[in-house]
């Protein structure tokens, strides 16, 4: 099949195109794709916009006013599920996609399976990834990441094929008033006062090379508590051991949070004054609920993966080294020097400066208030 890289995808200004966005995983990647949804909605107010993702990430898209439908799927077999039933589920999904009659599919994931789904959906326009790998499945392709583009710009760049000019937008996760109130009472139950600054710490991450040593978080927590600030440690499934290690490294009133469903976690984070997080999905979740976020970077590249404004209180911390960014799950040098070189005192000083600035102003929005 000939790959079209020049002609624009044209929909009539008054048309109601049916558009599917596909990004199976992970949490952060799904979150940073939300500006793409917003841009499409603004360009085509009457479009039918759906999003296909893995079921464990579908909840984060709930309440998004720019989406008409979230389609969730499970890529792996369920416990005790036969191959036949697993295959039947995939066939049912393809049948569902065909029945929805999408005009356009934007595949942000780029796996063999997502490309196959796009092709079998029957959509006339299919925007995908690298044309050398999946040429047969797509008829338009998204150029590979450029050095001068952050991840949001990279995702929204596919809209240039539709003639849509995008403005700078930021990810959004929409927390309801009820969810926010429930989180308020949850923090109260933990002995915290959400009406006073709470500093959140998230010491976990999927990649070992992205985990800032727990001693840094422990020392940071101790300094913050001694400065009279409330400290709350957030945790995702599988990160319990990290939190326990940190708990043994300080003396002070620091609260270890429970493992919460992702939407409850988002609502809790929205009450924080600042959230300090490793380079992971929770970092993006924090920024997406408009909480000032401090990202700790090791092998990743802040210019790409931290597209957040310092004017809104967001900051990235990293140390330039000749070996980074390496994007490796195992440190090539074996010592994790890039993360070790990020000093907790630098992060502490930045938090204190922001707290001082808040106390000298009337900006109550920093405490999660409207």
Q: Tens digits of per-residue pLDDT, 187-231? A: 999 999 999 999 999 999 999 999 999 889 999 999 999 999 999
Whose CA is closest to 209, among 339, 78, 319, 31? 339
**Same domain, yes or no: 332 and 225:** yes
Mean residue pLDDT across the chain: 89
Question: What CATH number is associated with residue 93?
Answer: 3.40.50.2000
DSSP structure string for 124-145: SEEEES-HHHHTTT-SEEPPPP
The residue ranking higher by pLDDT, 370 or 87, is 87
pLDDT for the residue numbered 143:
59
Q: Note whether 208 and 99 are same-domain residues.
A: no
351 and 221: one domain? yes
Evaluate whether residue 280 is within a structural domain.
yes
72: pLDDT strictly greater than 60: yes
Q: 10 Å Cβ neighbour count for 317?
A: 19
Out of 111, 139, 162, a domain closes at 162
Q: Which domain holds residue 52?
A: 18-162
Angle at 114 between CA 164 and CA 101, to 5 degrees: 65
- Quickly state the pLDDT bin for 370 (edges 50, 70, 90): very low
d(CA 19, CA 40): 9
- 368 has pLDDT over 60: no
Residue 8 inside a domain? The answer is no
Q: What are phi and psi of 275, to 5 degrees?
A: -125, 120
Q: Is the pLDDT of residue 367 over 80?
A: no
Confidence (pLDDT) at 157:
87
Same domain, 181 and 158: no
Quick check: is 231 in a domain?
Answer: yes
pLDDT band at 149 (very low <50, low <70, confident <90, very high): confident
Q: 295 lies in a domain?
A: yes
**Residue 89 and residue 183 in one domain:** no
Clarify whether residues 129 and 273 are in a common domain.
Answer: no
Between the CA of residue 247 and those of 89, 201, 205, 206, what are the distances in Å?
43, 12, 17, 20
Which of 135, 162, 189 is a domain's end point? Answer: 162
As a whole number, mean pLDDT of residues 142-166 equals 81
Number of domains in the chain: 2
Is the pLDDT score of 359 beyond 90? no
Q: Kindly indicate the confidence band of residue 116, based on its pLDDT and cuts at 50, 70 and 90.
A: very high
101 and 149 in one domain?
yes
Q: Are residues 211 and 295 in the same domain?
A: yes
Q: Based on the domain organization, do 157 and 200 belong to the same domain?
A: no
């Amino acid at each position: 099949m000939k790959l079209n890289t020049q002609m624009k995808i044209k929909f009539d200004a008054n048309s109601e195109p049916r558009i599917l966005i596909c990004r199976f995983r992970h949490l952060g990647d799904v979150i940073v794709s939300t500006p793409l949804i917003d841009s499409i909605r603004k360009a085509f107010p009457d479009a039918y916009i759906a999003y296909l993702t893995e079921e464990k990430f579908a909840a984060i898209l709930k309440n998004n006013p720019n989406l008409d439908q979230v389609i969730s799927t499970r890529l792996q077999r369920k416990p005790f599920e036969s191959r036949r039933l697993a295959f039947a589920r995939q066939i049912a999904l393809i049948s569902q996609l065909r029945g929805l009659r999408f005009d356009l599919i934007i595949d942000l994931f780029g796996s063999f399976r997502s490309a196959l789904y796009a092709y079998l959906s029957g959509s006339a326009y299919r925007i995908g990834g690298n044309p050398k790998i999946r040429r047969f499945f797509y008829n338009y392709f998204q150029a590979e990441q450029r050095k001068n583009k952050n991840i949001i710009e990279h995702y929204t760049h596919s809209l240039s094929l539709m003639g849509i000019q995008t403005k700078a937008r930021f990810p959004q996760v929409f927390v309801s008033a009820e969810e926010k109130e429930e989180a308020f009472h949850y923090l109260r139950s933990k002995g915290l006062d959400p009406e006073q600054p709470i500093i959140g710490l998230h010491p976990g991450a999927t990649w070992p090379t992205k985990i800032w040593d727990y001693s840094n978080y422990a020392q940071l927590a101790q300094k913050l508590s001694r400065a009279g600030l409330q400290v709350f440690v957030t945790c995702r499934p599988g990160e319990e051991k990290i939190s326990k290690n940190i708990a043994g490294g300080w003396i002070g009133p620091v609260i270890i949070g429970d493992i919460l469903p992702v939407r409850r976690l988002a609502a809790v984070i929205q009450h924080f004054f600042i959230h300090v997080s490793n380079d992971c999905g929770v970092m993006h979740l924090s920024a997406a609920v408009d909480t000032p976020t401090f990202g700790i970077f090791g092998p990743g590249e802040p210019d790409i993966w931290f597209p957040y404004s310092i004017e809104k209180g967001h900051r990235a911390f990293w140390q330039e080294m000749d070996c980074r960014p390496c994007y490796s799950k195992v440190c090539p040098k074996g010592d994790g020097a890039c993360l070790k070189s990020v000093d907790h005192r630098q992060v502490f000083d930045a938090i204190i400066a922001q707290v001082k600035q808040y106390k000298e102003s009337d900006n109550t929005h920093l405490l999660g208030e409207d």
